[in-house]
Amino acid sequence: MRFFSHIAAILALAIFAAQPAAAQSILRDAETEAFLDDISKPLIEAAGLEPNNVDVILINDPSINAFVAGGQAVYIHSGLIDAADTANEVQGVIAHELGHVTGGHVIRIGEGYQTAANISILSLLAGIGAALAGGGEAAMGIIAAGQQAAMGKFLAFSRTQEASADAAGAEYLSKAGITGKGSLAFFGKLLNQEFRRGISQKDESGFYRTHPLSGDRIAKLSEVYERDPAWDAPLNPKWETNFARVKAKLEGYVADPEATLRDYPESDTSIPALYARAYAYHKDALVERALETTDALIAKAPEDPYFLELKGQVLLESGRPEEAIVPLRKAVDLTRAEPLIASSLGHALIATEDKANFEEAEQVLRAAVGRDRYNPFAWYQLGVVYAARGDMARARLASAEQQVMRRQYPLALRSAQAAEAQLPYGSPDWLRAQDIAMEARALMEQMCEMDRANCDKRRR
Cβ contacts of 117-120, under 8 Å, gap ≥ 24: 117/16, 117/150, 119/146, 119/149, 119/150, 119/153, 120/16, 120/146, 120/147, 120/150
Cβ contacts of 321-325, under 8 Å, gap ≥ 24: 321/347, 321/348, 321/349, 321/351, 321/352, 322/352, 324/348, 324/351, 325/349, 325/352, 325/357
What does the alpha-carbon distance between residue 191 and residue 196 come to, in Å, rounded to a whole number? 9
Whether residue 412 contacts residue 403, with contact meaning beta carbons closer than 8 Å, is answered with yes
Question: What amino acid occupies position 347?
Answer: H
User: How large is the average pLDDT for residues 343-366?
Assistant: 96
Q: Is the pLDDT at 302 greater than 80, yes or no?
A: yes
The predicted structure's pLDDT at residue 214: 74
Instruction: Assign 211 a pLDDT band (cuts: 50, 70, 90).
Output: low
Instruction: Assign 451 a pLDDT band (cuts: 50, 70, 90).
Output: confident
Whether residue 411 contacts residue 429, with contact meaning beta carbons closer than 8 Å, is answered with no
Going 433 to 434 to 437 to 439, the CA torsion angle's sign is negative
Q: Is the pLDDT at 195 greater than 80, yes or no?
A: no
User: How large is the average pLDDT for residues 91-111?
Assistant: 78
DSSP annotation of 233? P
Helix/strand/coil for 334: helix
**What confidence tens digit (pLDDT) does each residue in 362-374 have?**
999 999 999 999 9
User: How large is the average pLDDT for residues 88-100?
Assistant: 96
Of 268, 385, 305, the closest CA to residue 29 belongs to 305
Going 222 to 224 to 229 to 230, the CA torsion angle's sign is negative
The predicted structure's pLDDT at residue 16: 25
Instruction: Assign 455 a pLDDT band (cuts: 50, 70, 90).
Output: low
- Helices of type H across 214-320: 214-227, 237-254, 257-263, 271-283, 287-300, 305-317
Element (H, E) at 32: helix 30-46
Whether residue 185 contacts residue 171, with contact meaning beta carbons closer than 8 Å, is answered with no
**Cα angle, residue 63 at apex, residues 58 and 65 outer, rounded to 5°:** 60
How far are the Cα atoms of 108, 220, 236, 251 from residue 175, in angstroms, in the given order?
Answer: 26, 19, 16, 32
The predicted structure's pLDDT at residue 18: 29
First to last CA, the chain: 47
Q: Which domains does the chain have, with CATH numbers?
A: 1-235 (3.30.2010.10)
Q: Is the pLDDT at 67 greater than 50, yes or no?
A: yes
Q: Is the pLDDT at 231 greater than 60, yes or no?
A: yes
Largest separation between any pair of C-alpha atoms in the chain: 87
Of 4, 33, 9, 25, the closest CA to residue 371 belongs to 33
The predicted structure's pLDDT at residue 11: 28
Instruction: Assign 14 a pLDDT band (cuts: 50, 70, 90).
Output: very low
Element (H, E) at 7: strand 2-10
Cβ contacts of 306-315, under 8 Å, gap ≥ 24: 306/30, 306/31, 306/245, 306/331, 308/334, 309/30, 309/31, 309/341, 309/344, 310/275, 310/278, 310/279, 312/344, 312/345, 312/348, 313/282, 313/344, 314/278, 314/282, 314/287, 314/290, 315/291
Instruction: Assign 357 a pLDDT band (cuts: 50, 70, 90).
Output: very high
Of 187, 27, 188, 165, the closest CA to residue 100 belongs to 165
Question: What amino acid occupies position 251?
Answer: E
What does the alpha-carbon distance between residue 380 and residue 391 come to, in Å, rounded to a whole number? 14
Instruction: Assign 163 a pLDDT band (cuts: 50, 70, 90).
Output: confident
What does the alpha-carbon distance between residue 296 and residue 274 come to, in Å, rounded to a whole number? 8
